[in-house]
Amino acid sequence: MDTNTTTLAATGLLVYYFAPCHEKQVSTSTETDIFSPVIPTKKDIDIRLPRNIVPDLYELWLIPFIWEGNFTFHGEIKILVNVTNDTNNVTLHAVDIKINESFTSIREYSSNDKSNNKTTVIGITEQKNDADRQFHVIKTSKLKKGKQYIIHLKFIGYLNDDLHGFYRSSYTVDNQTRWIATTQFEPTDARRAFPCFDEPALKAKFQINIARPQNMTSISNMPKKGKTTPLPDLDTYVWDHYERSVPMSTYLVAFIVFDFDVKKSKDGDFRIWARPDAIAQTEYSLSIGPKMLKFYEDYFKIKYPLPKMDIAALPDFEAGAMENWGLMMFREKALLYQKEEDGITDNDSKQLIALVLAHELSHQWFGNLVTASWWTDLWLNEGFASYMEYIGTNAVEPKWRVLEQYVVHELQSSFTLDALESSHPISIEVDYPDEINEIFDAITYVKGSAVIRMMDHFLTTDVFKKGLTNYLNEKAYQSAESNDLWYALTKQAHKDKILDPNITVKKIMDTWTLQTGFPVVTVLRNYSNGSIILTQERFLLDNNATRITSDKWEPLWWIPITYTTEKQLNFNNTQPVKWMKAERSITLNDLDVKPSQWILFNVQETGYYRVNYDTANWKLIIKQLNNITNFKNISVINRAQLVDDALNLARAGKLDYDIAFNITSYLGHETEYLPWKATFRALTYLNNMLIKSRGYDKFRLHVLKLLDNAYKQVGFVDKPEDSQMTVFNRINILNWACYLDHEHCVMKAVQYFKYWRNTPNPDINNP
């Protein structure tokens, strides 16, 4: 991300930052030892729960003392479990909570004896904590296969200020602190709030009961049922009881106790909560949220599974946004929006809100209804949602052209990271909580979304959507692995004759998810017989890294090949005409393209790869781009691709810089946002390399010459009728023009600054 365009940060990367658990927080807790974090020591041990016992139903009772000064919470839980194999112990997760072992009980459950007076009490011989695994182990007499048992526990926890587990947050009104008790459980922090089987595949139903002060409110995943009931011996508190949930993973459980205000949709089923003085800023989110939810119902052909949707804007929230089923949590800046009085909108903030909201809502199906069996497949959940956020936002804000923005905000930014030797595969084995947290990164989110977008195009959207619907219906309320999705998509692709019967989605996608990096496809034309040789190799920015790995085994990918020519000008067909089937090179024959005509590969940059050409074809493309009247014959996305590919190929030593700069020379008549955004990202590297050299002034003047026409076109003044792309382009152009000492830009910037500094309530568009 270039340092000169920080006012318009790449939206896709911001969405990554507004995603669950992308960064670790340093604990500031000064509490007693029983509440201090337990950091697992990595050993050669199995940290996965045994499968002899699986949960069926949790009945949870929690009392958070958020006004009493000690910030503890008292809890009681009954877990109905199914025994799948005879066993002599119950192993579940618990960390940072103190279990009252003298109270613990286990008894056999019989649905025929509702009073349970005659059920067998199971003897407990020992209880112990396994800190390395974050386990609480209960040794028992034999629990029999096929039987059900109820585990009954009482415990005390602490409302920490670490922003994970069941934690406390606050805000201030008239110098008075208002407290909030809230949750963030993904990936492995439900165990900090109550003893549980805290793995995503171990889904169960939840019956939640939350005690709260009478002057406050509580919400949870499901709607409230019945009336509140009093809390014995604590007359300032009452119990809120919630309907039984659908089967869901522990990391999706959520509840809040607060004194927020609420705004509701017309039918009352979609509600947004915020501080009283911020509730008016929820208007935009409330206007698009229900529309997005309805769009996803139509897209997936599956009705939203829960009876309501709550969203809370929290002042302290590490994850940025979290898709808890039926109760999503957001940082305030990711949900609250206030339109300026002059009618000018903060386009960047507004788009960020829409994208993050669309991301989390798509998870209600992909992630919540069907959940990854283990965190190794986190990329599938998050990559999918990071792609769907653009689909969902485009549905409610089509004028923004976010599907085009995706290429420069997500795809090309992912290339920058993935072209480093330090990159890692999308799908990566993880076990420990600290390892799981580490994979909430840009490769998981952004590259994950890019390869899913590629799959959408090579399967065709119709097949892609049908396959998704089949997958979601087949695995509803269960957990799944990547292979389950690949199977559903393959079955649909074969049915609709989109893929050859011998080709599977798994065979294709494994090369993209299990290998590090991405390829560059080199195009070498034979201008005498019309044939073309395509060769693939891993693209690395560091030439030394390329040489170091050249003698080793190199990865190969299944690459969908799309192309168009000067004669065809077909930029709409993104279905592959040929595959590179994990082979080093292939030859294309009988292409209808004359030696004097250019050919362009990777139409609309739907494939996750770069393209290099022989010198003659580059020159033909340059000639087309420099034609002021016809340069738009090449689509705007592919113009952005050509600039980004050329400058990065040159940086990697795979293309002469004179060709790369000749590609950029056309920018003197380019006014569209996408090519300029791609240019500025790539030029940042050159700027940093040249800034202390004698030749820097030539570079500076060259860039100023290129952007002069665009500078004159965008101007300094935002207007209400400006398109999203125009506003974003203006920000980038002005940032770079002033940074490079464009005389008029600097003069206007100083003029605006003086006016802003000296004028109360200035109208910045009319100094």
- At position 109, the amino acid (one-letter code) is Y
401 CB neighbour count, 10 Å cutoff:
16
Give the pairing type, strands 205-213 and 53-64: parallel
Classify 352 in phi/psi space as left (phi over 0), alpha (psi -120 to 50) or beta: alpha
Element (H, E) at 337: none
β 148-158/519-525 pair status: unpaired
Rg of the chain (C-alpha set) = 29
137 strand-pairing partners: 91, 128
429 a catalytic residue: no
Give, for 14, the enclosing helix (H) or strand (E): helix 11-17
| DSSP E strand stretches across 332-409 | 370-372
State the Cα–Cα distance between residues 58 and 222, nearest whole angstrom: 14
The residue assigned the tokens 């219906």 is 473
Q: How many CB atoms lie within 10 A of CB 325?
A: 24
Q: Are 561 and 601 in contact (CB under 8 A)?
A: yes
CA dihedral 431, 80, 78, 117 (to 10 degrees): -150
> Residue 321 — left, alpha, or beta (φ > 0 → left; ψ -120 to 50 → alpha)?
beta
Residue 622 structure tokens: 């340059």
3-state secondary structure of 652: coil
Among 173, 34, 11, smallest CA distance to 95 is for: 34
Residues contacting residue 554 through CB under 8 Å, at least 6 positions apart? 537, 538
Q: Write the DSSP symbol of residue 191.
A: G
- The Cα 619–Cα 486 span in angstroms is 41
Spot the catalytic one: 108, 186, 243, 360.
360
Strands 478-480 and 370-372: parallel
3-state DSSP call for residue 138? strand
- Identify whether the C-beta of residue 400 lies closer than 8 Å to the C-beta of residue 228: no
Query: Please, what is the angle between helix 347-362 and helix 378-396, to 10°?
Result: 130
CB-CB neighbours of 709 under 10 Å: 14
Beta-strand pair 176-184/370-372 = unpaired
Cα distances (angstroms) measured from residue 202 to each of 366, 502, 649: 17, 35, 47
Q: Assess contact for 350 and 284: CB atoms under 8 A.
A: yes
Catalytic residue ranges: 360
